[in-house]
Amino acid sequence: MLTVQGNFSNQSYAQTSQMEGEDKMEHKEGSNVQNGFSPAGPHVNVTQPVEKITNNLSLSSLREEGSPVLGETSAPITIVQFGDFQCRFCGRFARDTVSPVNQTYIQTGKVDLVFKHFVTHGPDSMTAAMASQCANEQGKFWSFYKILYGNQGEENSGWASANNLKKFASQIYGLDSQKFNSCLNSQKYKSFVENDTAFAIASGYQGTPTFIIEKSDGSNPEVLLGAYPFPSFQAIIDKKISGS
Amino acid sequence: MSEEKKTPIPSSSPKPQNLFILSFKMVFSTWVYITFAATTAVTFWIVSSIFDQLLFFYPILIFYLPDDAIVGFILANITAILLGIVVSMNIYVFRHSKMRIKTASFFSGSSLSVLSSTCASCSSLGFFLISTLGAAGVTASAFLSNYQTPLRLLSIALLMWALYSVSNRLIKTCVIKRHE
């Protein structure tokens, strides 16, 4: 089982998700961290030195700042995904690759998967990102992640409107809809999502999905841009685990 | 007069199937043009597969076809074959005829194919569009992404038109040469 620290809400993934075999996950309650960035979206003004931002991808920092984490605290390797809920390649990764990565590496305690927001697809992406953080607040991020990517529609066609997001959230077992709706309406996590996006831009990432595969202390990072299949992740992770 | 009746003059507008067969036989009787066609088709296939995120070279060479990419992959294969044939035929016309190549439909077909292969919003191009053009960029990249399949079908239609056009020119050129 997973260990849960601090204010993390622990849950069995099997309780809330149909993703078979993925019963180990860990959530940390999201926090609204101010990193000194101005409002994000596509036009982001970075007001903090890049060096300060890019040194902040260690697992402990990511947990601390409230990014959703799937996996155990002791995992030696971390995959950080910069994603957008409207990006179809992010959807492909979520549907095809997360499951084998989870079964092979996350459940065995070798890897953590962390999600960071990189809002590049317009206004509905921002709403979806904020909604996912509201789900994360209740320890349901990965259930919400699966539902959104499983129901992905055409970009900015309304499938990720606030009303639809509330409907998706209401399908999640154990999620308090009233609390979720209130969180989404208040745009509580707007600056959190903007900070994530500003971080991605300042780090020079070019699009979604971007993956950083690194040691948990943030060292030895390897960046992948695109929906790489499982064997590609396997090759990099195995190499990092073997220490070569 | 009687001799003219015995020698039928080839029609300037033969049936499409005859048109394609005649032009195919004319161009692809030589290995050079088969090589041109194969090289173009394979190059386009590789570029298209990279844009569609089906083909990866790092950290391992891998090709994979997820369910959501099957339709696009089939259309990309059709486009690659058509593009190879059209390019090769255009080269043949360029080398064997003084007639100018009508490039409009060829280039619009091929460029549209490449463009539609790219999920602009997910790529560097899309990110560039959005960060540079703001709302207009969002609209442009969303259009490319949402209408990828219709755009690919349109590009196939344009390439079919280009194929018909170049075949027609080849046969017409022969007719002209026979009667010169």
B44-65: average pLDDT = 92
β pairing state of A111-117 and A77-83: parallel
Amino acid identity, position B16: P
Give the span between the Cα atoms of B85 and B88, in whole angstroms. 5
A45 touches chain B (CB under 8 A): no
> Sorting pLDDT into bands at 50, 70 and 90, what band is A244?
low
pLDDT above 90 as % of chain B: 26
State whether A92 and B69 contact (CB < 8 Å): yes
Q: Band the pLDDT of A6: cuts 50, 70, 90.
A: very low
Count of domains for chain A: 1
The pLDDT of A181-195, averaged and rounded, is 96
Instruction: Out of A134-148, B29-43, B146-160, pick the least confident.
Output: B146-160
Residue A221 lies in a domain: yes
User: Exposed/middle/buried for B119, CB within 10 Å: 0-12, 13-18, 19+?
Assistant: buried
pLDDT digits (tens, 9 = 90+) for A211-241: 999 998 888 899 999 999 999 999 999 999 9
Record: contact A227-B53, CB cut-off 8 A: yes
Residue of A nearest to B130 (CA): A42
Higher pLDDT, A52 or B144: B144
- Residue B128: the pLDDT is 65
- CA dist B180 and B177 (Å) reads 5
Let me know if residue A14 belongs to a domain.
Answer: no
The overall average pLDDT reported for chain B is: 76
Distance CA A239, CA A211 (A): 16
**Burial of B92 (C-beta count, 10 Å sphere; 0-12/13-18/19+):** buried
Name the residue among A195, A172, A154 with its Cα closest to residue B121.
A154
Residue ranges making up the domain that contains A87: 32-242
- Which pLDDT band, with edges at 50, 70 and 90, does B154 fall under? confident
**Closest CA relative to residue A27, chosen from A95, A109, A103, A115:** A115
Q: Answer whether A75 touches B (CB < 8 Å).
A: no
Going by pLDDT thresholds of 50, 70 and 90, the confidence category of residue A47 is: very low
Mean pLDDT, residues A59-69: 86
With beta carbons less than 8 A apart as the criterion, state whether A98 and A221 touch. Answer: no
Does B122 have pLDDT greater than 80? no
State the complex-level ipTM: 0.76
Helix pair B148-179, B16-27: axis angle to 10 deg: 80
**Can you give the CATH number for the domain in which A127 is found?**
3.40.30.10
Q: Which residues of A touch B56 (CB under 8 A)?
A: 226, 228-229, 232
CB A168 within 8 A of CB A17: no
> Given pLDDT bands bounded at 50, 70 and 90, which one contains residue A119?
very high
Instruction: List b or e across A193-223, with b for residues whose CB sees 16 or more CB atoms inside 10 angstroms.
Output: bbbbbbbbbbbebbbbbbbbbbbbebeeeee
| pLDDT > 70: percent of chain A | 77
The answer as to whether A107 is a domain residue is: yes
pTM higher than 0.80 for the full model? Answer: no
State phi, psi for B68 to the nearest 5 degrees.
Answer: -70, -10
B interface with A, Cβ–Cβ < 8 A, is 53, 56, 58-60, 62, 64, 66, 68-69, 119, 121-124, 126-127, 130-131, 134, 137-138, 141-142, 145-146
Rounded CA gap, A26 and B94, in Å? 65
Domain boundaries, chain B: 15-179
Q: Which of A84, A85, A89 to mutate to test the interface with B (most CBs of B within 10 A)?
A: A89
pLDDT(B93) > 70: yes
Tell me the chain B residues in contact with residue A231 when contact means C-beta distances shorter than 8 Å.
60, 62, 64
> How high does pLDDT run on average in chain A?
80
For residue A15, being part of any structural domain is answered with no
User: Does residue B148 carry a pLDDT above 50?
Assistant: yes
Any B CB within 8 A of A78 CB: no
Please tell me the distance from the alpha carbon of residue B102 to that of residue B96, in angstroms, as a whole number.
15
- Cβ neighbours of residue A217 under 8 Å, at least 6 residues apart? A58, A59, A60
Q: Is A89 among the domain residues?
A: yes
Question: Within 13 Å, how many C-alpha atoms sit on residue B34's CB side?
Answer: 5
User: Is residue A182 one of the residues assigned to a domain?
Assistant: yes
Per-residue burial over B67-89, b = 16 or more CB atoms within 10 Å of its CB, e = otherwise: eebeebbebbebbbbbbbbbbbb
